[in-house]
Amino acid sequence: RGNQILPNRRVMARLDTMDVFDTTILLSDHYRPIQNAEVVDFARQLTKNDKSVTIETLGALGQGETVWLLMNLGGFQVKKDEMQKYLLFTNNHSGKQCFRGLSTAVRVVCQNTLSLAMGSGKDSGFAIRHKGNLADNLAEAQKIMGIALEEYEKFSEAATAMANKQIKGKDVDIVLNILYPNPEHKADGTPVDATNAINERAKVKELFEKGAGNDDSSVKGTVWALLNGVTDYKKKKKNTG
């Protein structure tokens, strides 16, 4: 801090410019950087025994302190909807975060999509601390990839079943009332304004009936269309704050 020398403490810097990523984070002598080339080699090892798995994109954010690599695990189709499955690796050079690996349906291309993928998969995957050799954790990555492929296979079967199942109007209303219920009465029995809940149900129902792709005859009026309507509404609501 300032000109103070702290024994057995280091900071992370780029080798090409010697710019320090974060001067507030002091690392112990046990900290071992995971280089970008190691991340790529790690991913390539996973593709050796399965040619359908490919490295799709690789990117860096900020001053290069955050690096991500996206592997394409293949896709599947539900009627006319094409779904992709990915395995995402992220590495942080500043010392703030571990090396992470997780499955996701989000195609990462920027900070926003990276945040979305990390947020949706925060409780899944694996984390490797910056100690030892990254290659020693290859078996764990292969295990996660295998689990991801199994999960996507199950989802593919469930999605196909939903796309082949018609749902009646009254059942749509039952589902929407469960997802977006009217608020409960106050303690004194006074009713609470239910306008927001009513509007939410109406918006989802409109997306169920007329949302992108949901008016196609192959999925119109199905449970899959209802799921898409709910998902589309959540995305629109999040984007509008």
- Interhelix angle 195-210/169-179, nearest 10 degrees: 130
pLDDT of residue 5: 53
The percentage of the chain sitting over the pLDDT mark of 90, rounded to a whole number, equals: 25
Distance CA 157, CA 125 (A): 22
| Cβ atoms of residues 5 and 78 within 8 Å | no
pLDDT of residue 168: 94
CA-closest candidate to residue 111, choices 56, 68, 73, 71: 68
| Cβ atoms of residues 10 and 25 within 8 Å | no
The predicted-structure confidence for 180-233, as pLDDT tens digits, reads as follows 999 888 777 788 889 999 999 999 999 999 998 888 899 999 999 999 999 889
Distance CA 134, CA 41 (A): 10
239 CB contacts (<8 Å, ≥6 apart)? none
CA-closest candidate to residue 132, choices 230, 5, 34: 34
Distance CA 167, CA 163 (A): 10
User: How many other C-beta atoms are found inside a 10 Å radius of the C-beta of residue 138?
Assistant: 14
The predicted-structure confidence for 119-175, as pLDDT tens digits, reads as follows 766 666 778 888 767 777 777 777 877 887 888 888 889 999 999 999 999 999 999
